[in-house]
A and B are shown apart, each in its own frame.
Chain A
């Protein structure tokens, strides 16, 4: 354990040096105190007779307080797992709470700063880049979605309504942090420099780019951007993130693993396994849950009965926070703080970002079948993450409408061109059917490839002419 403590001291020193966007007026290095200044976690109120007895059962939940209360041995009992205070009042912890865990936000619905808070804000350059990236993401989504509708792409899914989560998170992390996405986080790749051409290559399955046409669209992956390839089964990335984090910890790296999931993903067994295990192993994982209200057609009320996802953190012994996912500033601030805690303290943190999935689940879905158009339109207009952040950067004098109009045009052209090029680019050659199954292609696959080539040569008319051999 000694070597880990020494490393965490080094991390603190190195963090001080390496953070570029650090606002020196607000010290986040004393994160222990800063998380206490955030609204404290409200314990659930039970339907019990006396406040006093409730307080005692409250104290049984926070282990450290129990030890302080019970100085004489009569008040507590030693069980496996630790000392626990007891009560003669039978109080059930209520399953419902009068007051839900409050949500951290900095901008109001119109994008004006809510006064009275200190927070770490992005500098001018970062903020402008953030807004520009949100714009790029939105335009990319719109055009690719249209392309699918026109039959030029087989599949696509958008991040509409979740631009703030995508970009603000990416901006708040270090490029060394390893991302294990679900599938609605392409904005992170965008921020890290993945080009429109590369997005298009993957979606169209061309020979260019790094995808080799292996996966369906939006299943991006790039080692050089520290973004692990998207894997369709839900929530499998959660325990895997704990494994990546364990590896980072063994290497002594000042970086963390960042795992995303939606609200639906928290129902998977892997959510439980990943969270529990990360806590037990003290793995530096930042779990980010995009609670956007819908898992395809399953609304929150059918997904879980808890107060969202943030309350589950405490159940695993994981520090957690709920943040307004449509407030780019709050997301940036919260993720900065959370990431620092994870890396410095080498333990997991959970961030629940509340938002709304404005788009359909994917191009295979028509969400008007299970929710009202008015609900969708309301979220598209009120509290829209793009509008709110835009008003903030405009108010700071860091953005202008003219710049936006010009930029929209430029990005649109860029995306359209990328699609046009990708559509005409050749698909991967035949050898990519058989490579990468194993590290080295085994003899049976080499034989199969040889046999297939012979068959194609012999029966050319049975095979498409435009597939490179």
Chain B
């Protein structure tokens, strides 16, 4: 049940990767999906399983999702359970299977299309944007597209430029799409179930390095009707001195940064966005009005990024409440390099978040 853990990742990238929210550092248990803990991988797998079981129109499509049990073992066991008509191994053509998924959705099926990573979604981007996102509008409501595009997004480790880009801002700028960014197992389960049930096209951006991470889950989360509302951010940690807004893996980093800041007397509030589009501007602004300072964190490129949009919304709606300029942490504005040392420099680290929060807090001095 552990799935594939990336040991080299833990060694190279961030030694505190296994840090869990609200619980002290605990080694991963051998049976990670005991009643109160679940890996993100199992969360996604169980969500897919339950939704496919509940609705015969739901089916999966992608490279290696069937016989291989999924490139990252996310779809493990689904082929055996549901058969090749509902778990479809596709030839290597993102344009092909995305187009097919869109067409199937036009006619009322509910496909879940997996991209091996969202970097490869670029080969299918026309179908996602020009067809899936815009069809309901262009057809004046006649053609709805209840499709989910899912797969790992953002940096993995040591995979270079064409396997490491974060596409949250790209998809987030497109009307007609919903864009979700789960962090924890609860997020993954609840948001994926909501996405599959949603009549609109949803882009579901997972993170490869989070697949193996375990999170505590409540009994409610494990229930098959569990859903998390789309468009609502979650306050992972309440605070009053500075707001840190992040999504996906950066939420984990932000929580670690918050612990470090707490030791220095700065009480940080950490917001897990969960949803890029629609963006929960209300939660962000309410928090800023409380703390008066904000730091945004993302792995993606800085220009036209998610942080830029958050900054705009805060300046538009809560300008008088800001006591310091908005701090934006993002990945370096370069195609991701391979060598471990410079790769580390290309992405935000916990220390970067700590320094930014401190700047936000002492800027007025």
Chain B residues with CB under 8 A of A437? 136-137, 175-176
Chain A residues with CB under 8 A of B335? none
List the A residue with the shortest CB-CB distance to B178. A438
Nearest-Cβ distance from residue A444 to partner chain B, whole angstroms: 6
Partner of B95, one of A232, A269, A444: A269
Number of interface residues of A (CB under 8 A): 49
A398-436 residues with Cβ-Cβ distance < 8 A to B are 432, 435-436
Knowing A223-B142, A274-B96 are in contact, say whether A243-B135 is a contact too (CB < 8 A). no
Inter-chain CA distance A270–B94, complex, in Å, is: 10
List the B residue with the shortest CB-CB distance to A257. B103
Scoring A247, A257, A437, A442 by chain B CB atoms within 10 A of each residue's CB, the highest score goes to A247
Task: Mark B72-115 against chain A: 1 for CB-CB distance below 8 A, else 0.
Answer: 00000000000001001011010111111111111111010000
Chain A residues with CB under 8 A of B99? 236, 238-240, 242-243, 270, 273-274
Chain B residues with CB under 8 A of A84? none
B219-265 residues with Cβ-Cβ distance < 8 A to A are 231
Scoring A239, A248, A257 by chain B CB atoms within 10 A of each residue's CB, the highest score goes to A239
Partner of A438, one of B91, B98, B127, B176: B176
Complex interface: stretch among A209-217, A352-360, A363-371: A209-217
Chain A residues with CB under 8 A of B97? 239, 273, 277
Inter-chain CA distance A241–B175, complex, in Å, is: 24
A182 within 8 A of B: no
Knowing A231-B130, A236-B127, A277-B97 are in contact, say whether A212-B140 is a contact too (CB < 8 A). yes
Chain A residues with CB under 8 A of B178? 438
* A240 and B91 contact, CB distance less than 8 A: no
B23-71 residues with Cβ-Cβ distance < 8 A to A are none
Inter-chain CA distance A270–B103, complex, in Å, is: 13
Inter-chain CA distance A401–B119, complex, in Å, is: 63
* B135 and A231 contact, CB distance less than 8 A: yes
Task: Mark B105-134 against chain A: 1 for CB-CB distance below 8 A, else 0.
Answer: 111110100000000000000110011000
Task: Mark A225-269 against chain B: 1 for CB-CB distance below 8 A, else 0.
Answer: 000110111001111111111111010000001000000000001
B143 within 8 A of A: yes
* A223 and B143 contact, CB distance less than 8 A: yes
Chain A residues with CB under 8 A of B267? none
* A273 and B107 contact, CB distance less than 8 A: no
Interchain Cβ contacts within 8 Å, total number: 144
- Interface size on B, as a range, is 35 or more
Knowing A221-B142, A244-B104 are in contact, say whether A233-B199 is a contact too (CB < 8 A). no
Partner of B100, one of A223, A228, A240, A438: A240
* B138 and A240 contact, CB distance less than 8 A: no
* B143 and A240 contact, CB distance less than 8 A: no
Inter-chain CA distance A280–B61, complex, in Å, is: 14
Chain A residues with CB under 8 A of B135? 229, 231
Partner of B200, one of A212, A439, A443: A439
A349 within 8 A of B: no
Nearest-Cβ distance from residue B10 to partner chain A, whole angstroms: 38
Inter-chain CA distance A248–B106, complex, in Å, is: 11
List the A residue with the shortest CB-CB distance to B109. A247
* B106 and A228 contact, CB distance less than 8 A: yes
Inter-chain CA distance A438–B179, complex, in Å, is: 13
Knowing A228-B106, A231-B130, A233-B126 are in contact, say whether A273-B175 is a contact too (CB < 8 A). no
Q: List 8 A-B contacts (CB under 8 A).
A: A222-B142, A223-B143, A243-B105, A246-B103, A247-B108, A257-B103, A274-B96, A277-B97
Pairs of residues from A and B, 10 with the lowest C-beta to C-beta distance, nearest first: A243-B103, A239-B99, A273-B96, A240-B103, A243-B104, A243-B100, A212-B140, A247-B107, A229-B139, A439-B199
